[in-house]
Amino acid sequence: MALLQIFEPGETPDPHQRRLAIGIDLGTSNSLVAVSRSGVPEALPDVQGRRLLPSVVQYRADGAPVVGHEAQQAMLADSRNVISSVKRLMGRGLADAIAQGLPLSLVAAGADAAQPAIRHADGTVEQPLQRGWPAQGAPASHAAGDAPVTRTSADGSSTGNDRAVAVATVAGAVSPVEVSAEILKVLRDRALATLDIDEDALAGAVITVPAYFDDAQRQATKDAARLAGLNVLRLINEPTAAAVSYGLDEGEQGTYAIYDLGGGTFDVSVLKLTRGVFEVQSTAGDVALGGDDFDALIATDFAREHNLGEPARLAAEHPERWRALLLMARQAREALTDADTVTMRFDTDAGQGAIQVAGQDGHDVSGGSAGNSSEKNGGATLVSTLTRTRFEELVQPLVARTLKIADTAVADAGLSAQAIDGVVLVGGATRMPVIRQAVASHFGKPPYTGLDPDQVVALGAAMQAAQLIGQRRDGEDDWLLLDVTPLSLGLETMGGMVEKIIPRNSPIPLARAQDFTTYKDGQSAMAIHVVQGERELVKDCRSLARFELRGIPPMVAGAARIRVTFQVDADGLLSVSATEQSTGVAASVTVKPSYGLEDTEIERLLKESITSAREDMQWRALREHQIEAAQLREMTQNALAEDGGLLDAAERQQIDDAMASLQKVLEEAQTLDGSPEEATLLAVRDRLLDARMNLQKVTEHFAALRMDQAIQRALAGKTIDGLTS
């Protein structure tokens, strides 16, 4: 129910004086700002009528940064100081950022911009190089565990060895948050100017993020908005925003898949639309898969055809040339949306590329006229013809990758592709015919393309923003968004096992609590390790944060009750608290890791959770036996230290031998690592069980003796009459 604002006669504010809220799509390639007035959303243009703002920022030695179209035009002339695709770096540590393969000088945050040191994933250090796309044309990813793990202390400070990333420019090292803030400032100012309102009349903004952005990436986006002077009303997932725009515009009901392929990220969300309720059933995605990767494949193919070198080396030694190739490739990809053939021309000396479509004027990437670079500069002009058929062959692995992710989202919703009522395409990259054809074939129905894929996300965000401040069109009913968290969240327990607190695809916001206890007598502190993933063991999941709960009153093992609470807010950000119930002693942490999930890590986590389910359960069973056996051995040791005098030499030796045998098997189980044969796991588990049962058997008489002694001590000095009175 909306609240009415009541004014005295003659004091009703003019329309331009009313508070408004905006929606912002902070994209990898382009960004937009939109507003919903009287229930009608619209993307806001600049003074020249352009609605798309290139997500490009140029830094200068003196003067303010240049953002948008002007910065984009300077990408070749001032390559080292022009930053694009910064969204791929949000919330990432240095090692992860380098693996993205962007043609940027990446440095550790805080390093001297004049002589910055670049640390690679393998630990080597070098002077700054322009990092380019890897040889295969798609972002590389290192094996899980190669990147240094960053942990977060209870006060939120970073304790790990993977530093945050920055980009070296002539104006100094700038963080991805700062770069994104410059883009957001321009969008904010555009909204203020177009709407003719002052800052006080701008209630805030809803900003969209990829559904598979993790905590660090979401927090970085929020920080950028605050740095830009924006009040963040909510972060909303991009596919969800698109579904809102589509659902409210078309009045559709049913189950829909939102296929969102942008410049640098890819998401698929399955939503159920029912009378104003937008309920996310599942989500899947890749935060490093988008139009940039399609461009890189074209550029890689061109470079190899003309023996220009492998992309990684080319980008390091000739960064301006590689960036020009990427820009030419993007032009070619976009032209092939309508054309069947594109001719690409590249001047090697001038570092200028151009494309030519039959019957059309040429497009020079550097701003000149197509095909004239060799005449003006005397360099060799390399020419290639790219057909749509050849392009589709090049990008087929990427297309297949998107469909595989889509299958994961659909399966997680408990559906089949054929059970989906409709597919909505979102993101500029979905204009490619190869994508539209593949999606139509995969789902057995043509996708919906009636809404502008570049604007639909921003429009949905604007609708959400208007609703959050109590504005809606006349006669419009209330509507509700129910989003989900993409991966399971849990804690490490004894034996390196994971106790899942929040399963993946749980609706947010939510809070869940679970009680835990101590492992040892007199334990006064508990280390709490928060992890993310679908596997049963901590070693196979991603570490998010660690903190400690201190001040637990000394008690026997198992007596303390520690309640751990997980809270995920509407923005998808996680906080964890722990409280000892009897004393109220508490500790908490807001999870802000400095790294982001790697390119293929989420897909790996989900796939391994299925393929390794049997192995995981066997490992979990083994670890549980280990814990029980270790507890029994420790209890026996404590009992022997206290009452060992009750035993004769033979009995004591029998117990000592049983304890030694149990310890030997415990050590054997502890050394198991990797992926041993199933038979090996089962054999160790059985030996551990036998050793534990043997120790229990040989200590039965000892337990009886201790019980008798305890009764005798309790009855000492007592009479029968005294006991019965």
Q: Which of 130-134, 542-546, 660-664, 709-713 has the highest mean pLDDT?
A: 660-664
Quick one: which of 603, 613, 427, 475 has its CA closest to 537?
Answer: 613
Model confidence at 192: pLDDT above 90? yes
Residue 131 has a pLDDT of 29
Query: What does the alpha-carbon distance between residue 297 and residue 137 come to, in Å, rounded to a whole number?
Result: 5
341-347 sheet: strands from edge to edge: 363-364, 352-357, 341-347, 381-387
Q: What is the largest CA-CA distance in the chain?
A: 120
**In the structure encoding, which two tokens stand for residue 290, read together?**
């988008």
Residue that is written with structure tokens 């490619």 in the block: 432
Write out the catalytic residue numbers.
25, 87, 238, 260
Q: Which of 49-58, 424-433, 453-462, 564-573 shows the lowest per-residue confidence on average (mean pLDDT)?
A: 564-573
User: What is the arithmetic mean of pLDDT over 86-94?
Assistant: 84
**In the structure encoding, which two tokens stand for residue 301, read together?**
């193919």
3-state secondary structure of 689: helix
Model confidence at 264: pLDDT above 90? no
Query: What does the alpha-carbon distance between residue 689 and residue 694 come to, in Å, rounded to a whole number?
Result: 9
| Rounded to 5°, angle at Cα 205 from 204 and 207 | 155
User: How much is the pTM?
Assistant: 0.64
Model confidence at 639: pLDDT above 80? yes
**Does 114 or 269 have the greater pLDDT score?**
269
**Does 495 or 579 have the greater pLDDT score?**
579
Q: Which of 186-190, 487-491, 552-556, 610-614 has the highest mean pLDDT?
A: 186-190
Judge whether 315 and 326 are in contact, CB under 8 Å: no
Model confidence at 269: pLDDT above 80? yes
Backbone dihedral angles phi then psi of residue 100, each to the nearest 5 degrees: -70, -20
Query: What does the alpha-carbon distance between residue 561 and residue 374 come to, in Å, rounded to a whole number?
Result: 77
Q: What is the mean pLDDT of the chain?
A: 77
User: What is the arithmetic mean of pLDDT over 186-213?
Assistant: 91
For helices 215-227 and 176-195, give the axis angle rounded to 10 degrees: 50
The two beta strands, 118-119 and 82-84, are unpaired
**Does 104 or 290 have the greater pLDDT score?**
290
Rg of the chain over CA atoms, in angstroms? 31
Model confidence at 110: pLDDT above 70? no
Model confidence at 602: pLDDT above 70? no
What confidence category does residue 75 fall into, taking pLDDT thresholds of 50, 70 and 90? confident
**Does 143 or 686 have the greater pLDDT score?**
686
Judge whether 519 and 504 are in contact, CB under 8 Å: no
Query: What does the alpha-carbon distance between residue 14 and residue 380 come to, in Å, rounded to a whole number?
Result: 63
Quick one: which of 193, 164, 178, 157 has its CA closest to 226?
Answer: 178
**Does 131 or 285 have the greater pLDDT score?**
285
High-pLDDT (> 90) share of the chain, %: 23
What confidence category does residue 189 fall into, taking pLDDT thresholds of 50, 70 and 90? very high
Segment (H or E) for 298: helix 291-305
Quick one: which of 601, 544, 492 has its CA closest to 151?
Answer: 544
* 158-162-167-173 Cα dihedral, nearest 10 degrees: 50
Model confidence at 600: pLDDT above 60? no
